[in-house]
Amino acid sequence: MKKNRIKLFLGCMAIGLFATQISCTDAFLKQDPLSFYEPTATYTTEAGLKSALAMCDLHYKTMLMDGNWNVLPIASLYIMSDIGLYAKTDAGGGIMDDFANKITPTSGMSSGGDSNAMMRFWNEAWNGIKYANTVLSYVDKVEGLDDATRNAYKGRAYFHRAYKYYHQVLLFGDVPLITKIIEVPKQNYKSTSKEAIFEMLAHDLEFAVEHVPSQQEMPYYGAVNKEACMQLLIKCYLVNGEFKKAEDMATDLIQNYGLELMTAPFGTSVPSGNPDTWSVERNVLWDLHRGENITSPANKETILPILNYNDQNFTAYVTMRALGVHWSNGDIMDPAGLSAPTYNWSRNDGNYNKELDWLRVLGRGIGCFRTSHHYNKTIWINDGEVDTQDLRHNREIGNWVEMEDLKYNRPNSRFHGE
């Protein structure tokens, strides 16, 4: 019995020693991936270039819209203009009325929720610049491309980089100028003057205008075309003070590329959200702003559309929610002191009145953005008179709504329907 135990013990030791010898080898640490990302292999093919440009196209869209259902980044461009300012007082940062102290990298530059989206522009622009630089760094290493195709790739990459830098500089001033792929970690970036950056952008876009094909020559819609390069170059010329170049380029763009201002209704007729509450007489300005007509062949004003209308690439673009007035807020009272006298009733509610259905006319705004007095009032004054014939400011046909046009819709309000 004792001998059997000794044999069992020695056998276990032998097995353990054998297992230890196996476990001490490092063969199992060797990589054997199913696929391996290697830039010099990925981006030295035309498929790799297309994937990088696809990312540029994506950031072109997501820099302006991020799909968070509360605010949209493009509205943050407006707070840098005389149109209005960020105005949601319950989002933490409050009204953005002091850029120097309220919009900084450590405070105020939010990127989601109900807040402004300045950080969104900062982050997405650098992402887009990275992919544009990737194309420019590898395009000459791709075999089998003719000169026209190779230069078209370069031109589109120049457009994307210029578009991102255009916003970076105008929003943030002097910023680092990065024109190649960052190969090692770097923290000692220095800013380049906005004047120098815009000179480079104009030079790059002149190349793009020469080599990117016109939309009239392209078999698909939504990719960067020559017309878009021309329009962005015009804007850069204006920033640089080269007004004659801008005028000549704009004249060429308007006269020679099948573009023109729309002067009459066109495309698909789309009524207002509820014509029984607020009717809109069909007009050219209304048609221009219907999503169904943005990419309509009849629309001769579209230069470069952002395609955003299918399940594969849809990103929420909540203009009515982010930019609309919070007219159903409980803090609003009628003259008798009734709270929330104008409410967003559902259609199956007994209080619903189809003639007072402001939810489907104006949307459920949360007031992230507030227009200025200049935009609301003074800009429409011409020779001392308020211009009500301008389609952009015409209440009679339904394109413009004043606060006084809304009517109380709570049945228990003494002012119901007023």
How many domains does the structure of the chain reveal? Answer: 2
Amino acid letter, 345: W
Domain co-membership, 265 together with 220: no
**Do 282 and 342 sit in the same domain of this protein?**
yes
| Burial letters 204-239, b for 16+ CB under 10 A, else e | bbbebbebbbebeeeeeebbbbbbbbbbbbbbbbeb
pLDDT given for residue 67 in this prediction: 67
Please indicate, yes or no, whether residues 190 and 63 belong to a single structural domain of this protein: yes
Q: What percent of the chain has pLDDT over 70?
A: 86
Residue 163 phi/psi, 5° resolution? -65, -40
Contact 190, 174 (CB under 8 A): no
pLDDT band at 210 (very low <50, low <70, confident <90, very high): very high
Distance CA 129, CA 378 (A): 39
Beta strands in 135-225 (DSSP E): 175-176, 191-192
Is 70 exceeded by the pLDDT of residue 112? no
Token duo for residue 7: 């044999």
Question: Do residues 253 and 276 both lie within one domain?
Answer: no
* Domain span at 239: 45-68+99-259
Mean pLDDT for the chain? 86
In a domain, 21, yes or no: no
Q: How many CB atoms lie within 10 A of CB 199?
A: 14
Q: Are residues 174 and 107 in the same domain?
A: yes
> How many residues in total does the chain contain?
418
Tens of pLDDT, residue by residue over 362-381, are 888 888 888 889 999 999 99
Q: Exposed (0-12), middle (13-18) or buried (19+): which is 161, by Cβ within 10 Å?
A: buried
Residues 292 and 391 in one domain: yes
Same domain, 357 and 344: yes
Looking at the structure, tell me whether residues 243 and 278 fall in a common domain.
no
pTM of the model: 0.86
Q: Grade residue 187 by pLDDT with cuts at 50, 70 and 90.
A: confident
Rounded CA separation 230/246 (Å): 9
Q: What is the pLDDT confidence band of residue 104, given thresholds at 50, 70 and 90?
A: confident
pLDDT, residue 16, reads 53
Q: Are 269 and 288 members of one domain?
A: yes
CATH code of the domain covering residue 230: 1.25.40.390
Say if 87 falls within a structural domain. Answer: no
- In sign, the C-alpha dihedral spanning 53, 57, 58, 64 is positive
Examine residue 108 and state whether it is found in any structural domain, yes or no.
yes
Residues 212-258 have pLDDT tens digits of 999 999 998 889 999 999 999 999 999 999 999 999 999 999 999 99
Is residue 139 located within the same domain as residue 255? yes
Pair 146, 227 in one domain: yes
Quick one: pLDDT at residue 364? 86
Q: Which residues contact 295 (CB under 8 A, 6 or more apart)?
A: 221, 302, 305, 307
Residue corresponding to tokens 């509450």: 277
In a domain? residue 225: yes
Q: How much is the CA Rg of the chain, to the nearest whole Å? A: 29
Within-domain flag for 39: no
Give the confidence band of 287 by pLDDT, cuts at 50, 70, 90. very high
Amino acid identity, position 136: L
Q: How far apart are CA 145 and CA 138, in angstroms?
A: 12
400 falls within a domain: yes
What's the token pair of residue 172? 């943030």
CA atoms within 13 A on the CB side of 252: 16
CB count in 10 Å sphere of residue 415: 13
- Say if residue 227 is in the same domain as residue 289: no
In a domain, 38, yes or no: no
User: Which residues are registered as beta bridge partners of 386?
Assistant: 381
CA dist 373 and 85 (Å) reads 11
Does 40 fall in a domain?
no
From CA 291, how far away is CA 61, in angstroms rounded?
A: 15
